[in-house]
């Protein structure tokens, strides 16, 4: 299984428009962050987690041209607004792409992208041809690949993280129950959100994310969905062993 971090930035992206802070003016490519998303290749399937606002750029930057399935964490615009660009893939390969998420995520997306149901546009394939699939909080299969949703809280909102084999991906999380934590034991790699240094009402900050990683003890943890409070080189050097900051283009195999 191959994983690529397509974007490691919070909703504004880094640099932030009009900001001159140390991170936003940094020359380190690891401080340039597109919006949060990841790509998984396993068993001949190309699985995307979220269609970030930067989806098009992310596909081009990473030389990717095909997606079979999208797993959605939740419906916030930084995680869904690149969906229209699936059109180039559904046209090129003449196929329908399956989208998965909890019922609220799918319902909200059907409102945000209601034009994809326009009969004439579907007929001429000038909209992304997608199928919305509601997920319950229980494991399901894409071909032979087992996907385990992990229900977490993002403030008051119920969202999904996903476990695929020994890899788990959780973003925009502020609380994980003991019951759901059990689904995350024995991981090789965990990707988890760590927004910034100060606390935040709807996202783990750096300290809270470190505590979760220490509890779960994966071989390796990468933090994502980072704001400009996080200067890569400075903060990465302070993290406990086995924990690192993710960055755009980070690739690993499991």
Give the residue with the Cβ less far from Zn ion, 15 or 128.
15
What's the CA gap between 91 and 104, in Å, rounded? Answer: 28
Q: How far is CA 134 from the centre of its chain?
A: 18
Nearer to Zn ion, 101 or 127 (CB): 101
CB of 50 to Zn ion, least distance (A): 9
CB of 121 to Zn ion, least distance (A): 29
Shortest CB 111 distance to Zn ion, Å: 17
Binding mask of the shown chain, residues 45 to 84, with x at each position contacting Zn ion by CB under 5 A: -------------------------------x-x------
24 belongs to the binding site for Zn ion (CB under 5 A): yes
In whole angstroms, what is the distance from residue 51 CA to residue 153 CA? 20
CA 158-248-134 angle, 5° bins: 30
Alpha-carbon span 150 to 182, nearest angstrom:
10
Nearer to Zn ion (CB atom), residue 21 or residue 60: 21
Segment interacting with Zn ion, rule: CB under 5 A, options 117-125, 136-144, 170-178, 240-248: 170-178
Closer by beta carbon to Zn ion, 47 or else 49: 49
Tokens of 182: 């059990």
Among residues 171, 181, 179, 178, which one has the least CA distance to residue 203?
A: 171
Six-digit token string for 53: 């606002």
Look up tokens 């925009």; give the residue.
172
Contact flag: residue 96 with Zn ion (CB under 5 A) = no
Least distance to Zn ion, CB of residue 155, Å = 8
Examine residue 33 and tell whether it contacts Zn ion (CB under 5 A): no
Residue 208: CB minimum distance to Zn ion, A:
16
Pairing of strands 140-142, 45-49: unpaired
Among 50, 54, 172, 180, binds Zn ion (CB under 5 A): 172
Collapsed DSSP state (helix, strand, coil) of residue 187: coil
Q: How far is the CB of 195 from Zn ion (least distance, A)?
A: 9
Binders of Zn ion in range 193-232 (CB under 5 A):
228
Of the two residues 89 and 192, which places its CB atom closer to Zn ion in the complex?
A: 192
Nearest to 14 by CA among 204, 231, 215, 162: 231
Using an 8 Å Cβ cutoff, are 246 and 30 in contact? no
Site of interaction with Zn ion (CB under 5 A): 16, 19, 21, 24, 76, 78, 172, 228
């Amino acid at each position: 299984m191959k994983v690529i971090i397509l974007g490691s930035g919070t909703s504004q992206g880094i640099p932030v428009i009009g900001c001159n802070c140390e991170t936003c003016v940094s020359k380190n490519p690891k401080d340039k962050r597109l919006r949060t998303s990841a790509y998984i290749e396993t068993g001949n399937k190309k699985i995307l987690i979220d269609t970030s606002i930067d989806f098009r750029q992310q596909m081009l930057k990473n030389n990717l041209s095909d997606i079979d399935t999208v797993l959605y964490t939740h419906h916030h615009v930084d995680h869904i607004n690149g969906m229209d660009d699936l059109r180039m893939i559904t046209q090129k390969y003449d196929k329908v792409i399956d989208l998965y998420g909890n019922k609220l995520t799918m319902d909200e997306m059907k409102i945000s992208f209601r034009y994809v149901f326009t009969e004439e546009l579907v007929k001429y394939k000038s909209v992304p041809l997608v199928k919305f699939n509601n997920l319950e909080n229980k494991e399901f299969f894409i071909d032979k690949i087992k996907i385990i949703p992990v229900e977490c809280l993002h403030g008051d909102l119920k969202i999904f993280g996903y476990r695929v084999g020994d890899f788990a991906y959780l973003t925009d999380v502020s609380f994980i129950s003991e019951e759901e934590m059990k689904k995350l034991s024995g991981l090789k790699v965990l990707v988890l959100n760590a927004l910034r240094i100060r606390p935040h009402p709807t996202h783990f900050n750096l300290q809270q994310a470190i505590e979760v990683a220490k509890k779960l003890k994966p071989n390796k943890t990468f933090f994502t969905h980072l704001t400009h409070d996080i200067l890569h080189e400075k903060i990465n050097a302070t993290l406990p062993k086995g924990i690192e900051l993710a960055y755009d283009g980070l690739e690993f195999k499991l």
